[in-house]
Structure 1
Amino acid sequence: MFIIEFNYLEQLSPIKPRIMGTNNLDEWVEKGSLARSRELTHSHRNKLKPLVPRSIERPTMGLQSNRNFIATNKIDAILKSPKQEDEELNWLTKKDYGHIPLYLSQIKDHLQQSYLEEQENVKRQLEAQNDKLQLLSEEELKQIREGLKQRYDEVNKQYQQYTHLKKFDTVGLKRRKEQFEKELIQLEKDMDKLKKPYVFVGK
């Protein structure tokens, strides 16, 4: 480490470095300027592989045995108990064979309960609608049908007066013809609705 210092008289003189110490870690530790972060230990020494066998260490070779392995294997095979095969499960003998599983019964009950609740809601909605609706009698339907048919004939008669015209000189004639067409279409829709056997109207 080098520290450069100079005063006013040394500004024009060559720079002389001052050595404050050395790069030896032990000297700095002894002075108290530095402290070792941890002790250097060689933990890898415990993980060394076993030493290579020496030249005088030879494996045992040439061992011989008088045992007859063929006869021994025959005796072992004769005395060995036969392998026990796993018995196949007979599903027909189960207690719950042929019965509906419990979870299916629970699902069926849940669906039945949901269906009944839905039917009850629909019934309440229909009752609420019936309180706001009124069924027209056959006599009232007949009067309304006759009135619509009479009105349809009147409008159609007036509309026929404009069908032969190929050119409309005024805007009023064109609008009147379009108005008759719309009214005839609406009357036809109303007459189709009244063809049903039961007609309800709001109270």
Structure 2
Amino acid sequence: MPTPCTQESIYNLLPRREQRPVEPPRYISTFRPSVKREAQENKAQCKTMGPAKVAVPSPKNFLQKHSKEPKLPARQKEQDKKLPALSVPRRTERPVMGIQSKKNFINTNAVAAITRLPKKPQPVYVDRRQGDKYLLETSGLVPKYINKKDFGRTPKYVTKRNEEERRAREEYEASILETLKKRAMKRLSDEERTSLLQGLRKNWKEVYHEFQRLPVQIDTIPKKLNKEKLETQMKQLEHDIEVIEKHKVIYIADE
């Protein structure tokens, strides 16, 4: 099929009117009137440009010279100042003579000086031949502490501390007892402890008696093993006896 080609025509020579595409109408929100109304209602008057009308200052209230400088209070007149009422003696007046006090200070001071006890010298000590003197009270040579009423008594703070330690020890022992009770541990009584010690000592004597019965010459392996076994048993028994004698309170766990 042959390709179509534009044929020359007289109608193509005439100018054609340009056809513009039809644009769709612009979108307008349905809430536009309500938004405009709310913005008009909530608009602050004179928010950025200042007040619409400002009171114009009067030309009579202009800034005068030295009006902002601090001012001193008004000076009082000399007539306003009132001096205290003092009776100043005249030049021709003379003081009254011959007036004496009831107390004779001269005689009083003399009697007091005569009857006063002599001042005791301050106790000092000399430690060098050049005569250097030091106070005896601060030297530690004066037995002033043994003359106190509470000398030799236990101080209160020591008694208080001992009481606190005893209370803390009792609380600790009580907590241990409570813990041991929870763990179901049995405390060994004194009779059981004594019988246990006697039994251990009896066993040690038996093992020691058997150890003494060993031959002097140990030349075989069974004899050496027997000797080592007896020595181990004796050491273990001695250790157990020492532990039980050292601790008076012994607890046994129920297994």
TM over 0.5: no
| Structure with the higher helix share, 1 or 2 | 1
**TM interval, short-chain normalised:** 0.3 to 0.5
What TM-score results when the alignment is normalised by the length of structure 2?
0.29
- Higher Cα radius of gyration: 2
Query: Normalised by the size of structure 1, how large is the TM-score?
Result: 0.36
Q: Which has the higher contact order (CA 8 A, sep 6+)?
A: 1
